A and B are shown apart, each in its own frame.
Chain A
């Protein structure tokens, strides 16, 4: 029974992590790289128009960071609940 309750709790926390990370995922790719690209292009990072940079460089870096953040969060969560395999 305990096992079942902690599994549900574990899953709810996992879903919370997922929604936050996927929100950032959506914002950085579709938000900054597609929907707001024209507005952002008025700003520059070095020689890059900012929207263009997000579409061709920035979003990819952020994707990598997002996955490793998830790896870190889940390893910690597994340990907390004793669900390590």
Chain B
């Protein structure tokens, strides 16, 4: 059977599964809709968190980026896992004890202020919308390459599926579909990785194969071979970096802190029963994430070696079928500059004839390694699972921010539970449509901004939450001014150095402290912390009841199920 037939079959089965789960787990109340009834087991929540967290970017782009940047790609590996340590140790248990529905809920109550709540809602929406547009685009790319439908049709199919289970099931539907999606995506990521690891090094464990010797009889270590190939073609040694240490540090920190501050990840910990379940499920989530995150750098190495060996200095006529297939999508381009009919793939942009989009490395990898058609189809289904699960989690945050934090808490406090549930469903529908619109007509800055969503979360929400738990004296004046200064500072740096909204984009040599826009969230976070603490020192201490709330969330006993009542 052809790849396309296999893809229809496998993608069809997984979609039917997601829809089945959605029908089975319909939401009956706002509590079901926002926190899945508050009774999710730590393992199910760990799996759901892992799927929620691992987006199209983790599944498709990350290994590809590492493949082309070598050591520099470590920022994603450490940044997107290290944040879970912060989450498990500093946030999840206390937010679970607090027991509300959303992140702005915590900030609004802890800082006894609707202004704080609204600022938090704006930050949460800004972070989530930048992130979700990228997911819908990922869905479209997979559909267009593997099912040969138009990218826009792909986005619309994706929208309908997400709409179905997010609107019907809310958090309850999302949680159990995410459990299924974790299984699909991890299987789809591991199977080709294991096959390729065996092919190249004889070791079935990719994490070990990456550090093993190659099978061509030379007894050479794979990484040594790759370092050799890279230097030969004029690239940096794979295992050495090219970025400044200060920038590596700043980007890693911004990604870690941003991860811990992402609303769609934090809300997952509202769904478990107890404080100790919140800690445990954060550990399980990271364990399940680590399976993919420790495999990705191995895939990166395998793919890079395979690519160089397949194309470098070979005649264009003998290029395999995948090469031509990806050329059609425009994600791989070959221009025979010296007219010798051969592919020159080198570091020097004057001579280099091959451009490869990092995004295709994971998708094309099974084809490059000549694996059977069903594995290629599986990768397509895994990628869709990764993109859809993250999109659904984000859409829930968006709809809860609107229906709960704005409508229920600010504009219509007397709305009934039924009315709020309807509002939540309607806002989910609107959010899906907006996300789909951005997926079909991506504003030029979306791709650039997705990476910066972390900087925004690090600069705004993370400090306000941490200070709310660990610094009893923190008051509303401090938190609000910290969030506003932090997010504006980050937006300003993005606008100036990344988006070019303030005149021409200055060269990297003009970056402040040598820190790139991706890493600037770290600086903005520190500024937020300083402003918050300084302002709180000069203004009145928070009321006695609030200080009691803080003391209360610090001990786990007496936890109630999450609820909206005061």
Binding site for B on A (CB under 8 A): 7, 10-11, 14, 18, 21-22, 25, 29-30, 33-35, 37, 41, 45-49, 52-53, 55-57, 59-61, 63-64, 66-68, 70-71, 74-75, 78, 81-85
Contacts and interface: CB of A to CB of B under 8 A. Distances in A.
Contacts of B88: 67, 70-71
Interface stretch (B126-134, B277-285, B427-435): B277-285
B89 A33 contact: no
Interface in B509-565: 551, 554-559
Contacts of B164: none
A64 B284 CA distance: 8
Interface of B: 66, 71, 73-74, 77-78, 81-82, 84-85, 88-90, 93, 97, 207-208, 210-213, 221-224, 239-241, 245, 248-249, 252-253, 256, 274-276, 279-280, 282-283, 286-287, 290, 293-294, 297, 551, 554-559
Nearest to B209: A47
A34 to B, nearest CB: 5
Contacts of A60: 77-78, 81, 290, 293-294
B77 A84 contact: no
A21 B207 CA distance: 25
A73 to B, nearest CB: 10
Contacts of B286: 63-64, 67
Given A49-B239, A84-B557, 10 more contacts: A25-B82, A25-B85, A34-B245, A41-B240, A47-B210, A47-B223, A63-B84, A67-B283, A71-B283, A84-B556
A37 B290 CA distance: 21
Given A34-B248, A45-B211, A74-B276, A85 B84 contact: no
A73 B556 CA distance: 14
B557 A82 contact: yes
A48 B221 CA distance: 9
A3 to B, nearest CB: 9
B279 A47 contact: no
Contacts of A35: 245, 249
Nearest to A56: B297
Contacts of A49: 223, 239
B294 A29 contact: no
Contacts of A57: 207, 210, 294, 297
Given A34-B248, A52-B71, A70-B89, A85 B558 contact: yes
Contacts of B82: 25, 29, 59, 63
A55 B210 CA distance: 14
B259 to A, nearest CB: 11
Contacts of A56: 66, 71, 73-74, 77, 294, 297
